[in-house]
């Protein structure tokens, strides 16, 4: 069982990641805000507890593989990687700049520690399925994780990957869906209704868990449960708040692909600093 102190430490990392996201998007003047802020807790849990990885040896053969299907939320991955020691934190301010290793969508050959290049939504699960099947064929012990959005469930390729994984019982694969209920044109249930997601994946022979994506202990527990499932892959539906941490933009789909202005960035950072004091008091 994870200790309360470790949860507190990861919460602190998540807050630092959120601050870095705001700083890098403000400096870039472009990019996506709502999704990265909403996924900060999950990425903190991944990079500071869940993943078997080595920031100083990004090509380690036995590392867990983390695929980011919804590549537009990559600022949260860059921020988490920087805080974990993959590259200097100040490099985050080069996001989307010409020649930067930190492009608006992740490019595998630019930055060590990225497993795939992503951008076209709907492709990541199939890529993760390929890795998981390859690991089984090679008798490797690493696990494969795939982060995907709820909006990209509109894409048919997702369901091809889901069907393949269920058919071949890829129990070394865990997918985590960011169920924040928004996409670029509005709320998911208005654009293209997705529910009942649990029953759909269960029909494809997946084990499905649902968690509060901001409850770090619950996220970690769900991942541990996934490791105990031997006959099928697992999907963790993580219910998150888009824009989490910045009250005025939470739940607002218009911030899906909108960066803060310099003035908004200053205001958002002040709000996150206030949040820091709240986290400290909750654990005292």
As a whole number, mean pLDDT of residues 80-85 equals 98
Contacts for 90 with CB less than 8 Å, ≥ 6 apart: none
Residue 284 has pLDDT above 50, yes or no: no
- Express each pLDDT in 93-151 by its tens digit: 999 999 999 999 999 999 999 999 987 899 999 999 999 999 999 999 999 999 999 99
The three-state secondary structure class of 68 is strand
Nearest residue to 255 via CA among 6, 22, 33, 2: 33
Q: What does DSSP say about strands 173-179 and 234-239: parallel, antiparallel, or unpaired? A: parallel
**Cβ atoms 195, 143 nearer than 8 A:** no
Closest to 216 in 3D by CA, of 18, 48, 33, 35: 48
Please state the rounded mean pLDDT for residues 144-167. Answer: 97
Q: Counting beta carbons within 10 angstroms of the beta carbon of residue 109, is it exposed (0 to 12), middle (13 to 18) or buried (19 or more)?
A: exposed
Q: Are the beta carbons of 132 and 170 closer than 8 angstroms?
A: yes
Query: Given a cut of 80, is residue 280 above it in pLDDT?
Result: no
Each domain of the chain, given as residue ranges in start order, spans 4-282
Rounded percentage of the chain residues whose pLDDT exceeds 90: 92
- CATH no. for 4-282: 3.40.50.970
pLDDT on residue 120: 83
Q: What's the confidence (pLDDT) of residue 184? A: 87
Is pLDDT of 177 > 90?
A: yes
Q: Is the pLDDT of residue 161 over 90?
A: yes
What value does the mean pLDDT of the chain take? 95
Provide the pLDDT for residue 279: 55
Cα–Cα distance, 125 to 201 (Å, whole number) = 13
The pLDDT of residue 282 is above 80: no
Mean pLDDT of 10-29: 98
Whether 206 has a pLDDT exceeding 60, the answer reads yes
Residue 233 to residues 96, 151, 175, 201, 229: CA-CA distances in angstroms?
A: 35, 21, 8, 10, 8
- Contact between 161 and 204 (Cβ < 8 Å): no
Percent of the chain with pLDDT over 70: 97
Question: Tell me, what's the pLDDT at 109?
Answer: 93
Work out the end-to-end distance of the chain between its first and last CA atoms, rounded to an integer number of angstroms.
Answer: 20
Closest CA to 37 of 201, 140, 188, 180: 180
* Tokens linked to 199: 């029953």
Q: Nearest Cα to 234, choosing from 170, 139, 150?
A: 170
């Amino acid at each position: 069982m994870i200790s309360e102190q470790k949860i507190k430490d990861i919460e602190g990392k998540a807050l630092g990641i959120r601050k870095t996201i705001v700083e890098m998007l403000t400096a870039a003047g472009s990019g996506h805000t709502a999704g990265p802020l909403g996924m900060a807790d999950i990425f903190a849990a991944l990079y500071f507890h869940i993943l078997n990885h080595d920031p100083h040896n990004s090509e380690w053969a036995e590392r867990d593989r983390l695929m980011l299907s919804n590549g537009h939320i990559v600022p949260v991955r860059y921020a988490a990687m920087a805080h974990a020691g993959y590259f200097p934190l100040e490099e985050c301010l080069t996001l989307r700049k010409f020649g930067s290793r930190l492009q608006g969508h992740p490019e595998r050959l630019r930055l060590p520690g990225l497993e795939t290049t992503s951008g076209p939504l709907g492709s990541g699960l199939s890529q993760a399925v390929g890795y998981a099947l390859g690991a089984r064929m090679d008798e490797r012990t690493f696990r494969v994780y795939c982060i995907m959005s709820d909006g990209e469930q509109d894409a048919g390729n997702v369901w091809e990957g889901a069907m393949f994984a269920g058919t071949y019982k890829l129990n070394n694969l865990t997918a985590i869906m960011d169920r924040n209920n928004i996409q670029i044109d509005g709320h998911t249930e208005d654009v293209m209704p997705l529910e009942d997601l649990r029953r759909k994946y269960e029909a494809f022979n997946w084990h499905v868990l649902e968690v509060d994506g901001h409850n770090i202990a619950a996220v970690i527990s769900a991942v541990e449960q996934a490791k105990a499932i031997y006959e099928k892959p697992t999907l963790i539906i993580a219910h998150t708040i888009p824009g989490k941490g910045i009250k005025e933009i939470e739940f607002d789909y218009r911030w899906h692909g909108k960066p803060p202005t310099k003035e908004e960035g200053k205001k958002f950072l002040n709000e996150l600093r206030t949040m820091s004091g709240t986290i400290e008091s909750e654990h005292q």
